[in-house]
Copies of this chain bind each other. A is one copy, B any other.
Amino acid sequence: MKRKYEVVVIGGGIIGCSIAYYLAKEKVEVAVLDSGSIGAKTTSAAAGMLGAHSECNENSSAFFPFARESQKKYFELKDELYALSGVDIGYREGGILKLAFSEEDIHALNHLLVRPTVEWLNESEIRKMEPGLSPDVLGAAYIKDDVNVIPTRTCESFAKSAQTLGTQFFEYSHVYGIEKQDGNYIVQTANGDIEARHVVVATGVFSKALFKNLGITEELTPVKGESIIVHYEKPVLTHTLFHDSCYIVPRNNGKLIIGATMVEDDWSDTVSLQGVNFLIEKANTMLPAASAFKIAGFKVGLRPGTFDGHPFIGRHPEEERVLIASGHYRNGILLAPETGQMICDFILDKEIKSEWVEAFRVDRRQYMRV
């Protein structure tokens, strides 16, 4: 293991791999450390909806434009990454239908419908698009350009592309601590120490020990998500269905994902009977034919929750060459490209939109309190 890098990224999930990729494109010498294997934890359990619209329930914040910008980046990334890595990210168009079963649901969709890319479909229109929908559906907000990708592939594609451009990846290299020494950082791992000019903490919900080590008082809390992977005998769905934080996503590979539960403060990676029961009932509510789906597997991951639901992306308040990129909650896949770009811009001292810097800074809570 080489012992000195311009940047050490801790965490080889989708966020860390995207950061490595954007840095590698700028010819920065990077090492990525992961305590296990690349993309094996939270990333592996994501559904991969790039739901800039569907995940955004507020119009006022900087979140939507940031998410939208990130989503758009995937359009070019899919080919760029394939050319470098040989790994196809499974980019799939088709759009998302946010279903309404009640007047309340319709009301809740109003904030979406002001956007030019979102269209209201009434019952007969929606049934033409998806004949198998529940007869209880009243209509849907149709977001044509919300696409999906396959998360493990996308992460692997970022990682292998970065490798092709020179980045080093060290799997199974748990980081025990970070110490400052002569102006640089010594990252202490199971496999020995590595020196870095810049350190990026991209360890998602597993950031607690490093945050403590770095004097950051924010906490990331796990929100466990369980999903079911199913296969189906007859074509039943061409669009992603979404209702009440649950979804059915058709994948490029002929499978569907039904997700996801939201279990707070649960650190386990197991699938519970009650979680599965909940998902089956939600799926049946949207699509009665779901009861005949066949179980092909499960996915579980721990979303890193923050106090306001938005990620921490920015410099450490006191150590400007320590950067944080954690806390992406339900939106890691969606936000990975723009997070990668933004951390790269911080390290190269490029200009970054000030709304984004403010919205995602690590110490924003104390400013809010003032």
Interface residue ranges, A against B (CB under 8 Å): 36-37, 85-88, 90, 92, 94, 153, 156-157, 160, 163-164, 169, 171-174, 176, 190-191, 208-209, 212, 228, 230, 233-235, 238, 250, 252-254, 265-274, 276-277, 280-281, 283-284, 290-295, 298
**Which B residue sits closest to A150, measured CB to CB?**
B253
The residues of B that contact A163 with a CB separation of less than 8 Å are 234-235
Residues on B with beta carbons closer than 8 Å to the beta carbon of A233: 169, 171
- Contact, CB under 8 Å: A86 / B268: no
Would you call A190 and B208 a contact (CB within 8 A)?
yes
Q: Is the CB of A160 within 8 A of B235?
A: yes
Task: Contact check, A157 vs B272: say whether CB atoms are below 8 A apart.
Answer: no
Bound Cα distance A283, B273 (Å):
10
Quickly give the copy total for this chain: 4
Q: A88 touching B252 by the CB < 8 A rule?
A: yes
The smallest beta-carbon distance between A37 and chain B, in angstroms, is: 7
Q: Provide the residues of chain B in CB contact with A270, threshold 8 Å.
A: 37, 294-295
Q: How far is A284 from B272 in the complex, measured between Cα atoms in Å?
A: 12
| Bound Cα distance from A227 to B323, whole angstroms | 41
Q: Residue among A86, A92, A173 with the most chain B CB within 10 A?
A: A86
Q: How far, in whole Å, are A194 and B29 apart by their CA atoms in the complex?
A: 42
Q: Is the CB of B254 within 8 A of A87?
A: yes
| 23 pairs, A vs B, C-beta closer than 8 Å | A37-B268, A37-B270, A86-B238, A87-B253, A88-B90, A153-B253, A153-B254, A160-B235, A160-B254, A172-B266, A172-B267, A172-B269, A173-B267, A190-B208, A190-B267, A270-B294, A272-B293, A273-B280, A273-B292, A276-B276, A276-B295, A277-B277, A277-B280
Would you give the shortest CB distance from A24 to chain B, in whole angstroms? 13
Query: Which residues of chain B have C-beta atoms less than 8 A from A174's C-beta?
Result: 267
**Which B residues are CB-close (under 8 A) to A273?**
228, 230, 280, 283-284, 290-295
Given A267-B191, A281-B277, A176-B272 contact (CB < 8 Å) = no
